[in-house]
């Protein structure tokens, strides 16, 4: 029986959300991560450490007293530090995106070494399986989720602004979106965050304004001002898209993985005409919210994770 779990890293608030819900189900789940403004408030079970390898405080955590070690992100300093420790408990690895696409040989060596410490690898979006064929252990798709809730039902709506809600990485293919929106009579806000900021800033159309990122606790308040949100363009789905849809805001992005679900995601084709036509289309937003509630519900995801934990302990 699983009683104590240690989560390493808080990627897109997934570690935070899982630990919080595990505790609600009676499993003592601790989260150790770099201090981050994305953490939603101070909780007793959150431990934070500095990210530099020589400053880690992991020695204060008695790791082998936990039943399971759940390690988020394969190319993180904390992940590497854990993999260097002598641990006699099951280690479950959790891939989230860019950690499956190392940008250089050092990162690739780092990734493979961390991965060698676990025999189970969870991946959080369907597209990542294509980058994990090298992993010989068990691979499990466990959907991401949104922990956001509506806060201001009477929020003033922007009449001529659309939010592009995503962290800027090259794999998300925003150049496709820029071609679709450059001649539209709408203004678009884009978060100034991610490793590809400068790459995209060089050729963004004139109707895009870069805005500063906000703490994760402020995201619901920000999103609720928009009548339409646009997401990543690589055909997959991430936490940003789930957050927007979970609030009932009409959200557009290409989606190529309906075969993973019993019901397809309500999603118009990604065209300039559909961007204009779905501005303020809250009927679409409600359908998308219901789909997220059914397939990306944090409680359903956590229950499945508990089953995975129990099976791994039975295999020892």
Is residue 153 in a domain?
no
Average pLDDT over residues 276-294: 97
Same domain (yes/no): 220, 258: yes
Give the CATH number, domain containing residue 109.
Answer: 3.40.50.2000
Same domain (yes/no): 124, 189: no
Same domain (yes/no): 9, 133: yes
Closest CA to 296 of 274, 255, 314: 255
Is residue 151 in a domain?
no
Average pLDDT, the chain: 85
Same domain (yes/no): 290, 188: yes
Residue 37 has a pLDDT of: 44
Is residue 155 in a domain?
no
Average pLDDT over residues 4-23: 89
Least confident residue range of 31-35, 275-279, 292-296: 31-35
Same domain (yes/no): 106, 208: no
Average pLDDT over residues 36-52: 41
Closest CA to 122 of 245, 246, 3, 18: 18
Same domain (yes/no): 136, 216: no
Q: Give the C-alpha separation, 231 to 234, whole Å.
A: 9
Q: What is the CA radius of gyration of the chain?
A: 20
Q: What is the pLDDT of residues 230-270, one digit of tens each?
A: 999 999 998 999 999 999 999 999 999 999 899 999 999 99
Sign of the torsion angle spanned by Cα atoms 117, 146, 267, 265: positive
Sign of the torsion angle spanned by Cα atoms 79, 83, 89, 95: positive
Contacts of residue 4, defined as CB under 8 A and 6 or more positions apart, other chains included, come to: 27, 28, 29, 30, 65, 66, 67, 68
Say yes or no to pLDDT of 167 above 50: yes
The helix-helix angle for 282-295 and 239-246 (nearest 10°) equals 120
Same domain (yes/no): 207, 103: no
Is residue 150 in a domain?
no
The number of folded domains in the chain is 2
Q: Give the C-alpha separation, 314 to 208, whole Å.
A: 53
| Owning domain of residue 64 | 4-145+297-314
Is residue 39 in a domain?
yes
Same domain (yes/no): 103, 170: no
34 pLDDT band, cuts 50/70/90, is low
Least confident residue range of 4-8, 111-115, 133-137, 186-190: 111-115
Same domain (yes/no): 207, 75: no
Same domain (yes/no): 166, 271: yes
Place of tokens 């895009």: 208
Is residue 91 in a domain?
yes
Same domain (yes/no): 303, 285: no
What's the gap between Cα 279 and its chain centre? 25
Q: Give the C-alpha separation, 90 to 301, whole Å.
A: 20
Is residue 94 in a domain?
yes
Is residue 250 in a domain?
yes
Same domain (yes/no): 291, 304: no
């Amino acid at each position: 029986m699983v009683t104590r779990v240690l989560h390493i890293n808080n990627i897109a608030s997934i570690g935070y959300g899982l630990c919080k819900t595990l505790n609600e189900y009676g499993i003592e789940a601790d989260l150790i991560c770099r201090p981050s403004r994305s953490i939603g408030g101070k909780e007793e079970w959150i431990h934070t450490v500095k990210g530099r390898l020589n400053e880690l405080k992991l020695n204060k955590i008695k790791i082998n007293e936990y039943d399971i070690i759940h390690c988020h992100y394969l190319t993180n300093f904390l992940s590497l530090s854990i993999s260097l420790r002598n641990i006699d408990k099951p280690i479950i690895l959790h891939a989230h995106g860019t950690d499956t696409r190392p940008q250089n040989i050092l990162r690739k060596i780092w990734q493979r070494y961390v991965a060698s410490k676990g025999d189970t690898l969870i991946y959080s979006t369907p597209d990542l399986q294509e980058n994990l064929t090298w992993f010989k252990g068990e691979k499990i798709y466990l959907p991401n989720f949104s922990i956001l809730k509506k806060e201001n039902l009477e929020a003033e709506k922007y009449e001529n602004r659309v939010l592009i809600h995503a962290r800027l990485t090259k794999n998300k293919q925003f150049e496709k979106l820029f071609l679709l929106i450059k001649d539209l009579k709408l203004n678009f806000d884009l978060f100034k965050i991610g490793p590809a900021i400068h790459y995209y800033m060089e050729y963004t159309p004139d109707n895009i304004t870069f805005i500063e990122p906000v703490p994760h606790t402020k995201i619901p308040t920000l999103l609720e001002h928009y009548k339409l949100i646009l997401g990543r363009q690589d055909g997959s789905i991430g936490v940003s898209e789930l957050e927007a849809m979970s609030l009932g805001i009409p959200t557009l992005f290409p989606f190529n993985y309906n075969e993973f679900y019993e019901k397809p995601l309500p999603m118009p084709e990604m065209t300039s005409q559909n961007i204009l036509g779905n501005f303020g289309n809250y009927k679409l937003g409600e359908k998308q919210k219901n789909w997220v509630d059914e397939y990306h519900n944090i409680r359903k995801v956590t229950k499945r994770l508990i089953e995975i934990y129990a099976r791994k302990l039975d295999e020892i």
